[in-house]
Amino acid sequence: MTTEEKKAPKKKGPIRWEAIIPVTIICAGAYAYFAWFFDQHLKKAIEYVGTQANGAEVNVASVKTSFLRGSFDLNGLQVTDKDMPAQNILSLDNVHFQYMWDALLRMKFVVDDASINQIQVASKRSRPGFVLPPEPAKPSKLDGLQKEVLDQVKKEYSQNMLGDLIGLLEGADPKDQLEKIREELKSEKRVKEMIADVTTKQKVWEGEVKRLSDTTKLKAIEGQVQSIKAEKNVLKQLAGAKELNDLLKDVQKQAKEIQGAGKKLEGEIRTVSAYPNEVQALVKDDIASLKNRFKIPELDVKDMAMALFAKEFGDYIAKARKYQALAKQYLPEKKEREEVLPPPREIGKTYEFPITKSYPLFWLKRAAISSTGTPGSYSGNVSGELTNVTTSPKWVKKPIVLDLKGDFPASEMYGVQAKVTADFTGAVARQGLDLKITTFAIPGRMFSESDKLKFGLKKATGSTKLTAALQDGEMEMSWNAQISKPDWLVEAKSNLAQELLSGIVGGIPLIYVNGNVSGPWKALNMSITSNLGDELANGMKAQVSKKIAEAEGKLQALVDEKIKGPQAELLGQLKGNGDFLSQIKNADQLYKANEDKIKTEIANLQKGGGKGKGGLEEQGKKLLKKFKF
Amino acid sequence: MTLLLKQLFGFFKLLHSETGNNQLAWGVALGFILGMTPALSLQSLLVFFCLFFFRVQIGAAFLAAFFFKFIAFLLDPAFDAVGQWALELPALQGLFTDLYNMPIVPFTRFNNSIVMGSGIVAIILLPFVLAGSKWAIIKYRVTVVERFRETKLFKVWTKTSLYAWYYKYDTYFGN
C-alpha cells in the first residue's frame, strides 16, 4: 500500500458547513419543544406544585407562553377547597402577563400590564377535586401569632358578662353553690387546722402544767426544812444543813425547768394569738375569689361595650396580624444599605455604574383585576388593580397597592372599597389597610346565650370602616361600625330582665361601635365604645348596682356564718392558753418562795439558829469544854 | 464525550500530518481566550460559537483552554489590577455607563475587574499566541515528527499488519 493509493482529501473551506445540519436539527427540536410541549409541561408543573402547596387538586385549563411576544397566559385556574372538595376555594378565568422585552434582554422580568379576570370564591366544581392525605398536624406559626393577639383580647372581655348581670338581677342566691364549694374556702380550712393545732397544744400543756405545778414535792421539802429546824442535836443539825443544801439545788433545778417551760409557752401563745388576724385576711381573700367565681362584675360602661364587641374587633386584629406576617414573609423588609463584604481575590471587584435605564429583577407594574358575580358562588362584581409588586421597592420608589371596589350580591354586601398598601420604599416599612363597606347584612349575632338569657341580633344591616396601619412593629387600627334596622332577640327567664332589656333595646334604632387598638403586637392597648354598651349599662346600672351590693353582702354573711363558729372556738381555746400561763407563773412563784425559805434556813443554821443556843461553832466549843479538853 | 475524544485524537493526528497549521493555531488561540475568561459569560459563548461555526481544531482549543486555565488562575491578581485600572479610567466612565445600561452587554460581566483584566490581556496577547502557536506547530513538525519518522522503531511499526489495518481503516472511515 503506497501513499499514491490514498485519495487526496478534498480541501475544505473555513466554515464548518457539515455542522449546519446537526445545529439546524437541534434548533428545530428546541423550537418544536417550546412550540408544542413546553406549555403543556409548564401547565403540569403548575398543577403539581399548586396541588402540593394547597393540599387539594389544582387544575389549569391551559397555559400559553410566547417567547417572541414575551407573554404568559394562564387560563381556567381552579383551586379545590380541601375541606369541601366539591367546590373551589378560588378560581380564575384568565391571568395574562405581558413582559417587556427590553427588561428580558437584561434578565429582568417586568410586567407592564397584566390582567386577572373573573375571580370567583367558593364556585362549584364540575367534579370533586381529590384531596391529598393530611400531614401530621404541626403547630402553625401563623396560628400562634393570631392566638397571641386573641389571648390579649380575651383578657378584655367576658363572653357572658350580660348573662352574669341578668343572673344578679334575678337574685341568684349563691348559697347552694357555696355549700358545694365550702371545702374550698381557704379560711374555713385554715380555721380547722388552727383548732386542731391549738387542741393538740392544749393537751400537751395540760400535762406539762400539771406536772410542773405538782406541790407534793414542795410540801415534802417544807416538812424536811421544819424537822431540820426543830432539831436540837448539833451533829444532826450539821447533817440537816447539808441536806438543806441538796434540797436547795433540787428546788433551783425545778424552778429553772418551770421558767423554761413558761418561756416556751409564751412563744407558742404568741404564735397562736396571731391566728385570728390570719383568719380575717383569709376571709377577705375568700370573699374576693367568690365574687370572681360568681362573676359579680364591677359595672362600667366601657366594660360593657368591650364585652359586647371585643370578639369582633379581636377577629379583625388577628386577621391583620396574620396578613402582616404573611406580607413580611413574602416581602421581606430590606435594609436601607446592604452590607458590602469585600469579595475574595479570585472573584475580583465588581463595579456599579450609574443606572440610567434598568429594571428590578421582578416588577409587576399594574395588574387589572375584574370579576363578575355568578349565581351559586360568593364571587362579586369586583374591579380594581394591583400595582408595583416588585423585588426592589426602594428602587421603584412606589408602594405596592391593591385597590378593589365592588359588590357581593350573594353575601348581601354592597359598596366594598378596599385599599391595601405595603410601602417598603423607606427606611422603615409601612403597611396600611383602608376598608369600607357601605352596606352588609348581619345574619345574626348573639351577645349572650345562656339558660337565663338569650340576647342578641336576629338580623340587622351594617356598615363599617376599618383603618389599619403598621409601622416599625407598632400597629394602629380603628374600627367604626353602624348597625341599623336591628331585629332584637330578648329571651330572659326573669320578667324583670325581660322588661328591662326589651325597654332598653327598643329605644336604640342605630348602634354605633368605635374601636381603637394601638401598640406593639405583644402588648396591644384596646378600647371600644358603643352606644349599645352605654344604654345597656345605664339602664341596668341602678338595678345591677343594688344587686351587686346585695350579693356582696350575702357572700360576706355566708362566709362569716361558716367561719363564726370555728373562729369563736379558736378564740375560746386561745383564752384557755392564758390560764396555762398563769398556772405556770404560780408554780414558778411557789418554787421561788421555797427557794428563798431554804436559803434563809441555811443561813439561820449557820448563825446558830434553830432550837439550840448560839451557832453550831459555839455549841461545838461548849461540848468540848464539857469533856474538859 | 465521544465527540470530545474524537476531537482530541483529531488534534494529535492533525499535529502529525502536513496540513492544518492555521486550524491548529486558531484552535490554540481561541482556547487561550476560553482559558483566560474566569467563568461562563457572553464572550465565552461567542468563542464557542466561533469554534463550532468555523473550521477550527476544537481539540486544540479544549487542550489549550485546559492549560491556560491554570496559568490564568495564577495570574488572577494581575488581571484584577489591570481590570481595576481600566474600569477606573475617567475617560471611559461614560462608555462603561452606556454599556452597563444597554441590554445584553451586562451579560459579558465587563464590570468585573478580573473579567475586564483577563479580557484585555487575552485580546492583546491573541495575535502573539496565534503567531507563536503557528510557529511552534511548524517547528514541531519539522524537528520532532520528521526525526521520529526516521527512527527504526517507527519504520518497523509501519511495516506491521496492525498499522496496515489502521491505515486502511483511516483511509475509508477517518475524516
Tens of pLDDT, residues A295-341: 555 545 556 677 777 777 777 787 777 777 776 666 555 554 444 45
Instruction: Inform me whether the pLDDT recorded for A561 exceeds 80.
Output: no
Q: Which of residues 485-514 of A touch B (CB under 8 A)?
A: none
Chain A CB within 8 Å of residue B111 CB: yes
Collect all residues with Cβ–Cβ distance below 8 Å to B23 and sequence separation of at least 6: B14, B55, B56, B57, B60
Nearest CA in chain B to A355: B101
Q: How confident is the model at residue A576 (pLDDT cuts 50, 70, 90)?
A: low
Q: Residues A124-128: contacts with CB within 8 Å, 24+ apart?
A: A124/A86, A124/A87, A124/A88, A124/A376, A124/A377, A125/A78, A125/A80, A125/A85, A125/A86, A125/A87, A125/A88, A128/A80, A128/A85, A128/A86
Residue B20, domain member (yes or no): yes
Q: Are residues A201 and A307 in the same domain?
A: no
Contact across the interface for A15 and B83, Cβ inside 8 Å: no
Residue A288, domain member (yes or no): yes
Residue A166, domain member (yes or no): no
Determine the residue among A353, A356, A358, A359 to mutate to test chain B binding: the one whose Cβ has the most chain B Cβ atoms within 10 Å.
A353
Report, as an integer, the average pLDDT of B11-23: 70
Instruction: Assign 3-state DSSP to chain B and report helix, strand, coil percentages, each to 5.
Output: 80, 0, 15
Q: Are residues A429 and A320 in the same domain?
A: yes
Q: Are residues A244 and A317 in the same domain?
A: no
> Tell me: the pLDDT tens digits for A587-622?
788 777 777 877 777 777 666 654 444 555 565 566
Q: Are residues A408 and A494 in the same domain?
A: yes
| Domain ranges, residue A83 | 23-47+56-128+366-387
Which set of grid coordinates corresponds to residue A3? 501513499
Residue A146, domain member (yes or no): no
Given this model, what pLDDT does residue A32 score?
94
Tally of CB atoms within 10 A around A69 = 11
- For residue A99, the distance in angstroms to the closest alpha carbon of chain B comes to 15
Q: Are residues A382 and A393 in the same domain?
A: no
Given this model, what pLDDT does residue A59 score?
94
Residue B96, domain member (yes or no): yes
Given this model, what pLDDT does residue A158 score?
55
> Tell me: the pLDDT tens digits for A130-189?
888 876 666 667 677 777 777 776 666 555 566 666 665 655 555 555 555 555 567 777
Instruction: Inform me whether the pLDDT recorded for A226 exceeds 50.
Output: yes
Q: Are residues A460 and A313 in the same domain?
A: yes
| Domain total of chain A | 3
Instruction: Inform me whether the pLDDT recorded for A79 exceeds 90.
Output: yes
Given this model, what pLDDT does residue A336 score?
47
Instruction: Inform me whether the pLDDT recorded for A113 exceeds 60.
Output: yes
> Beta-strand (E) ranges in A10-121?
58-66, 71-80, 88-99, 109-120
Contact across the interface for B80 and A348, Cβ inside 8 Å: yes
Residue B132, domain member (yes or no): yes
Residue B34, domain member (yes or no): yes
B106 neighbourhood in chain A, CB within 8 Å: 106
Contact across the interface for A348 and B97, Cβ inside 8 Å: no
Size of interface A-B (CB pairs under 8 A): 75
Q: Which of residues 81-120 of A touch B (CB under 8 A)?
A: 102, 105-107
- For residue A103, the distance in angstroms to the closest alpha carbon of chain B comes to 8
What's at A321, amino acid-wise? R
How, if at all, do strands A362-371 and A109-120 pair? parallel
> Tell me: the pLDDT tens digits for B135-149?
998 888 888 777 777
Contact across the interface for B55 and A346, Cβ inside 8 Å: no
Given this model, what pLDDT does residue A612 score?
46
Q: How confident is the model at residue A38 (pLDDT cuts 50, 70, 90)?
A: very high
> Tell me: the pLDDT tens digits for A350-385?
888 877 777 888 899 999 988 887 666 666 788 899
Q: Are residues A96 and A234 in the same domain?
A: no
Chain B CB within 8 Å of residue A8 CB: no
Residue B6, domain member (yes or no): yes
Chain B CB within 8 Å of residue A12 CB: yes
Residue A488, domain member (yes or no): yes
Report, as an integer, the average pLDDT of A9-35: 84
- For residue A105, the distance in angstroms to the closest alpha carbon of chain B comes to 5
Instruction: Inform me whether the pLDDT recorded for A42 exceeds 90.
Output: yes
Q: Are residues A421 and A450 in the same domain?
A: yes
Given this model, what pLDDT does residue A60 score?
95
Instruction: Inform me whether the pLDDT recorded for B86 exceeds 60.
Output: yes
Nearest CB partner across the interface for B54, out of A14, A347, A349: A14
| Domain total of chain B | 1
Residue A337, domain member (yes or no): no
The mean predicted confidence, pLDDT, of chain B is 84
> Tell me: the pLDDT tens digits for A443-490?
777 777 777 778 888 888 889 999 999 887 788 999 898 988 888 888
Given this model, what pLDDT does residue A387 score?
92
Given this model, what pLDDT does residue B121 score?
94
B38 neighbourhood in chain A, CB within 8 Å: 346, 348
Given this model, what pLDDT does residue A629 score?
46
Determine the residue among B2, B14, B54 to mutate to test chain A binding: the one whose Cβ has the most chain A Cβ atoms within 10 Å.
B54
Instruction: Inform me whether the pLDDT recorded for A41 exceeds 90.
Output: yes
- For residue B148, the distance in angstroms to the closest alpha carbon of chain A comes to 18
Is there a contact between A135 and A272 (Cβ–Cβ < 8 Å)?
no
Three-state DSSP class for residue A70: coil
Residue B172, domain member (yes or no): no
Given this model, what pLDDT does residue A77 score?
93
Given this model, what pLDDT does residue A243 score?
76
| Domain ranges, residue B28 | 2-140
